[in-house]
Amino acid sequence: MRIWGIGFDLSSQPNPDGNLYIESALKVCSGQFNIGLFRQGNLYPYFLSICFSILFIAESLLGIIKTPSDFLILNYIASPSNLLLYTRVISAILGTGVVYLTYLAGKRIFQPSVGIIASFFVAFSYIHVQQSHYEKEDMLTGLLIMVAFLFCIAIIQMHKPSLRNFVLCGIFIGLAIASKYLAWVGIFMFLVACLFHKSSAIPRKYIFLGLFSVPVGFLIAEPFALLNFGKFSADISSMSGVRELGLDRHGMPRGFFYITEHLKNGVGFPLEIIAIAAAVYIFFKCYRTGMILLVYPVSLIIFLSFYKAHAGYYLVAAVPFIAILASWFLNEIIKKINEKRLKNATMILCVYFIITPSFINCIRLNYLLSRPSTGEIAKEWIEENIQSNSGILVEGVYGNIIAGGPALSRNIKSLRNELEGVQAKGGNGNLWKKRIEFIQQNKELKVYDIIKTTNLTASLIGEKDPAYIISKPVYNYDNGYRVTTAAEREEMQDLLNKRYRLIKNISPYPLMDDTPYLYLMDFNKLRMVELMVPSKEKVIQGASINIYERQKNGI
């Protein structure tokens, strides 16, 4: 489930966050340990740098490469898809690891059958399968939280407190926070575990040392948060100004929207209902062992209720807790059946019924990801029909990445402009220098004078006046996720229609506002993916891409 479709859109490098992480990991590999960006945890790029080092050693032993420069050129400059695919495989492995840890947690807190069923639920959870395909930090965060939870279980169940469990629990929570800041709610999980410990008296120093271990674990993974505290605090403060992002809630409170939309579609409606029923049952029965499962998901949803950005993937680390809750409650109901065969048959039927909606969505997504993308098709068309070194203004850029669009090779002029921008911000620009060197040595490559912008505007078109324009809005203008206003967009389109002519349109099928890997996936549109149509070649993933050419007689 996590490997099928993992090679989606490799030539277009669609995920801006993923490429940011890969380039940050390459910085670490080159000796630049201070990544310099603290808007999200940095443990993941540090972790990737270790994985890249292992790949470097393997390729060196096999005689594929000889120097670090060879590694960079082979795996990221000449073929960016190499590291992209390698990083996605790592995510798939981490996601599979979470499935196993879910089994262990269910087994230890309840019994083996609960662990088996819970791991089955996680294995086919749509949101977990989806995020296991991406070069993002969520799978690492989820794995670290589950390790911390195993220590929470040990704290609850041991008759004699062990300092080791308290300290290690705190360290792994700290590591998870360094991977994704949202994991800070794991601290509540630790405190509740201390409250529910079987022994009536836990030495206070154990609780204090456990809490002290959280920042220790965080600083082990993110030492420059302390060493470069000014930048760290500035980046954290800037996150409070994040605009409202996500699917249109139609006025619905964020927390309620997570429950009725993101969670329902992320794990499947039947699983969500059973988990909610289990939570109600546990609450009224004051079942302490079960209550520990509620802490992380409930704390997370409460916090997200006040966070302006909202997306289903924020819930990924909570999926194993929800799965264990549902598995335990289902087991409690079905064990009342006395006849063994009937009991087993009922359990199997119920489990398959529960995972079916999520499983079908997984199939749709993986099939869609295995199909060609609009970005790949556009790249091929441009290289066949537009002359090398032509000036192209490209919309839909995050930093260095043309997200979801055609990842065209830049010419030396374009790369030098980017290099100046990187150096102006304090970077050494070594990656850009290598790219320039590679283009100089491979003059037969199709390259273009790329001008990048997040969103097209009339003033930008008038200022740059390029030969070609690629219009590919990353944002869905109907759901509130926008940077420019609708009026500004209309003004831009009017100027575009006057000065340019549309020479190529590449649209996905089914028609989607956002690419399935840009996290704002509308689940209703995902369900439009047809699995049984005779002409499956018409299914294309990605966002609509329009290619315009400047008219000679344009105004």
pLDDT single digits (tens) 368-378: 888 888 888 89
How high is the pLDDT of residue 389?
Answer: 93
pLDDT value of residue 421: 85
Select from 198, 308, 191, 290 the least CA-distant residue to 242.
Answer: 308
Question: How big is the CA angle at 233 (ends 230 and 235), to the nearest 5 degrees?
Answer: 105
- Average pLDDT over the chain reads 87
The answer to whether 193 and 186 have CB atoms below 8 angstroms apart is no
Q: Which pLDDT score, from 0 to 100, does residue 199 have?
A: 65
Residue 96 is classified by DSSP as H
pTM: 0.91
Average pLDDT over residues 83-99: 95
**Nearest alpha-carbon partner for 168 in 146, 186, 151:** 151
- Give CA–CA dist 491/477, Å, rounded: 15
pLDDT of residue 481: 47
Give the range among 171-185, 212-226, 441-455, 520-534 with minimum mean pLDDT.
Answer: 520-534
Lowest mean pLDDT among 120-134, 229-243, 516-530: 516-530
Percent of the chain past pLDDT 90, that is, above it, reads 52
Helical spans, DSSP H, in 370-457 = 374-385, 412-424, 430-441
Half-sphere exposure of 127 (CA within 13 A, CB side): 30
Determine contact, residues 23/411, Cβ cutoff 8 Å: no
